[in-house]
Amino acid sequence: MNPGEPQEAVRFGKLESTDPYRVSKIISSQDSASAELRDRCISLVSSVITGDDSPRISISQDFVLLLLYILRSIDENLLSVRIANMLRDTVQRSVAIGTPEDMESYCSRMGLDMAFDPEIKELLVSIPVFVKYCSRISGFQYRLVSQVLYKGQVILRQDTASHIAREFFAEQFMRLYQSMETQAARKVLTPYSEFISTAKREYAVLRSRSKVDLGNVESAKFPPCILEYIRQVREGVNLPHMARFTMVSFLHKIGMGNPEIMEIFKSAPDFNEKITEYQVNHITGEISGTQYSPPKCAVLQSNHICYKGNDPLCAQEWLKHPLRYYLIKKKPRQKSGN
Ligand code: SF4
């Protein structure tokens, strides 16, 4: 980082390759910039594992590349998602402070199409891009029905644009991460094998301490959608709003207490105790006085968060609700054979 530059900075283009030769060069290079970059990657990963204060992040293309190799070598999905989300937040903050013209050039460098319209002096994005990236953000202001359209595109408020940039970045980062082979990454990072095995060991200890007990409810009888939401939360995936709502209201309806529901969210990368507690208490009626029910299967299907796969009970035409699935599974003998 140059003197005078902000502590937190983002300078990179499209995340599209995980070139091993480039990483080998960063690792073996004797110059001070490469040494500093290596230190920053190591200290970011270490601080997340040990729970120390995370350093301010300055993101560059090489920083992201080396980080991807380190994370793939450690091979802990939740850790990777946590760090992806920290970088994502840095991207969001950096985008949010720019002018609309800055935002346009910043996003197009990342490969995200957002256009500044000089006539109306607003940022525009296509409807599919808006829907894709805003579906993961809670709040009515991020729904399509709340937007103003211009020439078939969505006019973006500055905060919406920065949210889209952040979700776009996280998606690109995780896509590259998922495309990499653990063994191949470890081979490239051979000089760091001791750090990798220590980090993996320490993270396993941390993980075992945060196991969730689902109490007396029979999780083996949960429908595939609810199992998938729980799995994703534990893996550190940021659930879409409707999936969160469905999971909380389902677990409440089958008798799980609010503290146990809160426990599930504790492994989420963006876990915020106060906000989660408020949301859980709201959905379960402690604050609102209304105990919400999970949506019907048709609603979950139209929101692309039904995970029925080949499940024989979900395949029944009459199965219209996740709660019904659970109730049927709980009955010892049913004519349907379930
Ligand atoms: S069919 Fe219904 S119960 Fe089954 S996974 Fe889909 S939404 Fe869930």
Ligand 1, atom 6, lies closest to the CA of: 306
Q: What pLDDT, on the 0 to 100 scale, is given for residue 322? A: 95
Average pLDDT value over all residues in the chain: 83
Residue type, 310: N
**CA–CA separation, 88 vs 227, rounded Å?**
27
* Cβ atoms of 127 and 152 closer than 8 Å: yes
Average pLDDT over residues 168-194: 90
Rounded average pLDDT over 82-109: 84
Q: Which of 293, 300, 317, 326 to mutate to test the pocket of ligand 1 (most atoms within 8 A of CB)?
A: 300
pLDDT of residue 69 exceeding 90, the answer is yes
Return the ligand 1 atom nearest residue 309 CA. Answer: 5
Q: How far is the CA of 317 from the centre of ligand 1 (A)?
A: 11
Give pLDDT tens digits for 73-86.
999 877 887 788 78
pLDDT, mean of residues 118-134: 91
How far apart are the CA of 322 and the centre of ligand 1, in A?
6
Q: Which atom of ligand 1 is nearest to the CA of 223?
A: 3
Alpha helices (H) along the chain: 20-28, 32-50, 61-74, 77-96, 100-110, 127-134, 158-179, 182-188, 193-209, 224-234, 241-253, 258-265, 273-283, 297-302, 322-330
- pLDDT of 5 reads 37
Most confident of 3-17, 23-37, 68-82, 265-279: 23-37
Q: CA–CA separation, 244 vs 137, rounded Å?
A: 11
Could you read off the pLDDT of 230-257 as tens digits, one per residue?
Answer: 888 877 677 888 899 999 999 999 888 8
Q: How far apart are CA 232 and CA 305, in angstroms?
A: 12
Between the two ends of the chain, the Cα-to-Cα distance in Å is 62
Distance 245 CA to ligand 1 centre (A): 15
pLDDT at 66 over 70: yes
Q: How far, in Å, is the centroid of ligand 1 from the Cα of 283?
A: 20
Q: How far apart are CA 79 and CA 195, in angstroms?
A: 15
pLDDT tens string 283-326: 888 776 777 889 999 998 887 788 888 889 999 999 999 999 99
Per-residue confidence (pLDDT) for residue 316, from 0 to 100 = 92
